[in-house]
Amino acid sequence: MPMFPARLKELWRSASNRRSRGGIREVDIKGTISRFAALEGDTADQIRQHYEEEIYDYITGMPKGAVFFDLGASIGNVSLFAAAHGLKTYAFEPDPKNFEALDLNRRANAHGDLQAFEIAISDGSNREGILMSNSRKQRRGDHHKVLRVQENAVHSSVLGLLDTERVVRTLSLDQAIEQLGLPVPDYMKIDIDGSEVAFFKGSTKTLANPKVKGFMIELYKESPFYPDLLRTIAAANFEAKGAFQISSAGQVDVGLFNVEYVRKSC
């Protein structure tokens, strides 16, 4: 009998993930319905299995009208959720296949406050960058897409799988705000697969702005650059509020965490 309620819950989740109208799939993410014209890959698996729920909980705690940047937006699940909760949302995704899905999904939802950009956020040293990926994971929404940077903090098991390269547009966060005429974010979700050192090098002006209240970032704690990242974040006047172990396909990704940071009190 104890297993029966769990089975009912799983059936409900499965049914909610199958509802579709005219090729558009409606998915219930923590009580919020988003419409997906493209739903596949690792990201779809994570949605169905309710992984990384802490990101959605983080968003629901933000006030309506806040400016939210989604860096590494994939096919747009987090961006759609944020826009549905009344946030002015700006999504950045460099991979062409992922961006195609992101744009299709954006169009499938009536969110006027969601804009998407096919851009990698880096240190701003180059107008173009090389995005490396795993040819065995070529669906939209699949992971293992890593920007080539000098100080790559990606999970060590990933680097050996990257066998495909393509040129993508890159900007630093400071450049993106200035050149695209964007508002300074109140909050950010940062999932940029190893480019964290480059990100912080290119975001000093933005992070110094007191309007930025905090961010949630995926960090690999086994990276040799992790101690430097901690010092950089502390120097930017942010402190950790909570850390959440990340799992993939039901298995714990050792050393991989989503960490929420908030601006230190003066």
**Cα separations in angstroms, 58 against 1, 142, 156, 200, 241:** 34, 23, 27, 21, 11
Kindly state the percentage of the chain with pLDDT values over 90. Answer: 80
* Strand runs labelled E in the chain: 20-21, 24-29, 32-36, 67-71, 88-92, 114-117, 120-122, 128-133, 145-147, 164-172, 187-190, 214-220, 238-248, 251-263
CA dist., res. 224 & res. 137, Å (int)? 26
Per residue in 57-103, pLDDT (tens digit) is 999 999 999 999 999 999 999 999 999 999 999 999 999 999 999 99
Using CA atoms, how far residue 78 sits from 33, 38, 74, 127, 188, in Å, is: 12, 14, 9, 27, 11
Task: Give dist(CA 211, CA 150) in Å, integer.
Answer: 30
Q: What average pLDDT is seen over the chain?
A: 91
118 burial level (CB within 10 Å; 0-12, 13-18, 19+): middle
pLDDT tens digit sequence for 228-242: 999 999 999 999 999
Residues 6+ apart with CB under 8 A from 50: 13
- CA dist 202 and 199 (Å) reads 5
Residue 264 DSSP code: P
pLDDT at 225: 96
- SS3 at position 134: coil
Chain CA centroid to CA 34, Å: 16
pTM of the model: 0.90
pLDDT at 50: 87
What pLDDT score was predicted for residue 8? 39
Task: Please tell me the predicted confidence (pLDDT) of residue 133.
Answer: 96
Q: What is the dihedral of CA 223, 213, 78, 88, to 10 degrees?
A: -150
